[in-house]
């Protein structure tokens, strides 16, 4: 059996409560033997932190930590942006549907942290396009907007969710059903879009800075920007009826919407793979955004560099292995309240009495 490299050093203590976890530079640990696994790496080095006495191993720092099917993670990333549904992936790899579900949730959490770690911290230097991608959770009675903030470079700066009330032309029987459901579960907050857009733009545009934002004529957007008094937002609007060509100022968002629907089985029209919870749709949006920003060319015809390379955020196009090279720990990144809730799967679905959140103690 091959022994693991002795040159690799654990970078920090993985215990969130330990003083050593955030300390820069050398920290005190010692090696504590090995354990054998059924899947590669077969022999894993164990360690103990000298400060908090927590045992851990080299696997603790791997994205495949505690996974029964560690080789599934990278192909799963490609399948989830290749419009496969969870059961189709499960059949292809000979694993259960629930394994695919759990791993796609882990991948979603990893991608949320990956996006947040690589996002430019200064004010965006390019115009941003704001758009709400309309989809639904649980049933068509519960629509929501996936609010996207995309740069002219096609880089996805961020996204979040806003619940909506089902609207449009409804048959009388549908109106009755909507009233019944709203009576039982409550009505979505009419201010949800305004609140969500404030959070999203406030996250991407730092206080005291300036940004140009292009959008359609949605009435909630100017109200959302007005709440961000410490930022100078130059808001330009284009009618959503204008032709959706590359010359349209909203083209980056229109293309992102098209790609999101093309790449994700849960957003196909008339699908049975729709998201049962919008939490699941948000995890998948994070995976899609990592793929869009770091893996995919801006133009398929030109095969040019991905948006993150064009913006100078990474030096070269990344592959799934690069994205999954190391595990990210949520307590080592500053996450705003929405990102924290999304990471921990605390975005509720109104029509479900009990929504499972992410409460694992070690595989955080
Ligand atoms: Zn420790």
Spacing, Cα 113 to ligand 1 middle (Å): 22
Question: Distance (Å, rounded) from C-alpha 159 to C-alpha 148?
Answer: 5
Query: Residue 258's closest CA among 270, 267, 248, 271?
Result: 267
The pLDDT value recorded for residue 24 is 65
- Does the N-terminal peptide bond of residue 285 adopt cis geometry, omega within 30 degrees of 0? no
48 Cα: distance to centroid of ligand 1 (angstroms)? 8
Residue 5 has pLDDT above 90, yes or no: no
In this prediction, residue 86 has a pLDDT band, given cuts at 50, 70 and 90, of very high
Distances (CA, A) of 68 to 38, 89, 196, 295: 10, 16, 37, 26
State the burial class of residue 355 (Cβ atoms within 10 Å of its Cβ: 0-12, 13-18, 19+): middle
Supply 201's token pair. Answer: 């733009």
Tell me what pLDDT residue 363 has: 81
Q: How far is the CA of 279 from the centre of ligand 1 (A)?
A: 32
Distance (Å) from CA 322 to ligand 1 centroid: 27
* Ligand 1 centroid to residue 22 C-alpha, Å: 10
More confident residue, 360 or 227: 227
Query: What is the pTM assigned to this prediction?
Result: 0.95
Distance of alpha carbon 358 from alpha carbon 341, whole angstroms: 10
**In whole angstroms, what is the distance from residue 306 CA to residue 197 CA?**
26
- State both tokens at 338: 């929405």
SS3 21: helix
What does the pLDDT read at residue 60?
95
Q: How far is the CA of 228 from the centre of ligand 1 (A)?
A: 40
Tell me how far the alpha carbon of residue 33 is from its chain's centroid.
Answer: 37
Ligand 1 centroid – CA 11 distance (Å): 11
Which residue blocks in the chain are alpha helix, DSSP H? 73-80, 86-93, 97-118, 172-185, 192-204, 220-226, 251-263, 278-290, 307-310, 320-323, 337-343
> Within a 10 A sphere around the Cβ of 360, how many other Cβ atoms?
9
**Cα angle for residues 165, 166, 172 (degrees, 5° grid):** 130
Q: How far is the CA of 33 from the centre of ligand 1 (A)?
A: 18
More confident residue, 41 or 91: 91
């Amino acid at each position: 059996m091959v022994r693991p490299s002795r040159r690799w050093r654990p970078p920090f203590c993985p215990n969130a409560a330990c003083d050593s976890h955030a300390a820069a530079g050398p920290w005190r640990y010692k090696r504590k033997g090995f354990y054998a696994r059924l899947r590669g790496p077969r022999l894993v080095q164990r360690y103990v932190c000298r400060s908090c006495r927590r045992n851990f191993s080299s696997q603790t720092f791997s994205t495949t930590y505690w996974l029964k099917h560690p080789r599934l993670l990278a192909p799963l990333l490609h399948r989830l942006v290749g419009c496969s549904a969870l059961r189709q992936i499960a059949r292809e790899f000979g694993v259960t549907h629930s394994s695919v579900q759990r791993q796609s949730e882990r991948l979603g959490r990893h991608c949320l942290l990956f996006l947040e770690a690589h996002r430019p911290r200064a004010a965006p230097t390019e115009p941003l396009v704001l758009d709400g991608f309309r989809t639904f959770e649980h049933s068509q009675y519960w629509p929501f907007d996936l609010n996207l903030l995309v740069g002219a470079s096609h880089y996805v700066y961020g996204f979040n969710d806003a619940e909506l009330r089902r609207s449009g032309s409804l048959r009388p029987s549908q109106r009755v059903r909507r009233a019944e459901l709203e009576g039982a579960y409550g009505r979505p907050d009419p201010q949800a879009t305004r609140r969500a857009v404030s959070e999203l733009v406030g996250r991407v545009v730092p206080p005291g800075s300036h940004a140009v934002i292009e959008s359609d004529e949605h009435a909630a957007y100017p109200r959302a920007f007005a709440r961000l008094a410490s930022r100078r937002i130059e808001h330009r609007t284009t009618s959503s009826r204008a032709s959706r060509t590359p010359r349209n100022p909203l083209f980056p968002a229109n293309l992102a919407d098209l790609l999101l629907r093309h790449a994700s089985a849960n957003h196909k029209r008339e699908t049975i793979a729709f998201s049962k919870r919008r939490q699941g749709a948000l995890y998948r949006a994070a995976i899609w955004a990592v793929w869009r920003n770091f893996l995919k060319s801006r133009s398929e015809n030109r095969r040019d560099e991905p948006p993150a390379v064009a913006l100078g955020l990474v030096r070269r196009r990344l592959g799934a292995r690069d994205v999954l090279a190391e595990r990210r720990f949520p307590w080592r990144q500053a996450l705003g309240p929405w990102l924290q809730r999304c990471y921990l799967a605390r975005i509720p679905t109104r029509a479900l009495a009990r929504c499972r959140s992410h409460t694992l103690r070690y595989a955080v």
